[in-house]
Amino acid sequence: MPRLLELFRRRGLTQTFFWPGHSVETFPEEFDACVAAGHEIGVHGYSHENPIAMNREQEAAVLDHCIELIETRSGRRPTGYVAPWWEFSPVTNELLLERGIKYDHSLMHRDFEPYYVRVGDTWTKIDYSAPAETWMKPLVRGQETDLIEIPANWYLDDLPPMMFIKASPNSHGFVNPRDIEQMWRDQFDWVYREMEQAAFTMTIHPDVAGRPQVLLMLERLIDHINSHEGVRWVTFDQIADDFAARNPRQEGDSR
């Protein structure tokens, strides 16, 4: 964490950090340093527990505890959330709105375009014991909510390719950061060329991005991105506010 904070200080960048509650309580000095540097703090569970494995009461208790932890220690109530494992339960959206959370960063529709989260989608599951015509039915879309989604992206996440995790074949950790850098640069270049307005978010973790080879990758990426006219580095809270101002939600929308 100190290495990342120093990188962002040198480059004059204010970022959004999503802190698990366990990390807030285990590393209070690092958390305080992050807050003191002016970075936004969002909610990211307590022990990286999967929301879809919990019941409603458990998920609510985790949210309440972690929101209180962050607000008490940082002096500001968090407005954003990232679900551990990027997994939304059937009640996550409702629980977030009940607690005044403005935006989420866990879903992946629309790649680089924020949108209002829709709930209540239904579909018919395949049943191989039944006639095909009984389950060949299209998706039925639900209703939009006030929760703003800032899309996540596995292909802009440093952890799967560059962290060694035992017994996890897709995370052996020995991918060359220069290969990841090229993938991220290519994505940015396409977005910059094709889209007039976009939210290009990159997910990094201190235990991955804090390593020397990844820090150098980030330095090069920042330089590349900054060489393009019209690019702004902003927090997720600012992204959400900008989207809401450009796209005021209409009641009853079910896009």
> Do residues 174 and 214 make contact, with C-beta atoms less than 8 angstroms apart?
no
Residue 151, pLDDT score: 98
Residue 255, pLDDT score: 47
Give the helix/strand (H/E) hosting 119.
strand 115-119
Residue 252, pLDDT score: 56
Give the helix/strand (H/E) hosting 103.
strand 103-104
Q: pLDDT digit of tens for each residue in the chain (255 aa)?
A: 999 999 999 999 999 999 999 999 999 999 999 999 999 999 999 999 999 999 999 999 999 999 999 999 999 999 999 999 999 999 999 999 999 999 999 999 999 999 999 988 899 999 999 999 999 999 999 999 999 999 999 999 999 999 999 888 888 889 999 999 999 999 999 999 999 999 999 999 999 999 999 999 999 999 999 999 999 999 999 999 999 999 998 765 544
**Mapping DSSP to helix (H, G, I), strand (E, B) and coil, where does residue 146 land?**
strand
Residue 46, pLDDT score: 98
| Cα 167 → chain centroid | 25
* Token pair listed for 24: 């807030």
Please state the pTM of the whole predicted model: 0.94
Question: Which of 85, 117, 105, 114 is CA-nearest to residue 17?
Answer: 105
Report the DSSP beta bridge partners of residue 80.
103
- Please report the DSSP string for 41-64 in residue order: EEE--SS---GGGS-HHHHHHHHH
From CA 161, how far away is CA 138, in angstroms rounded?
35
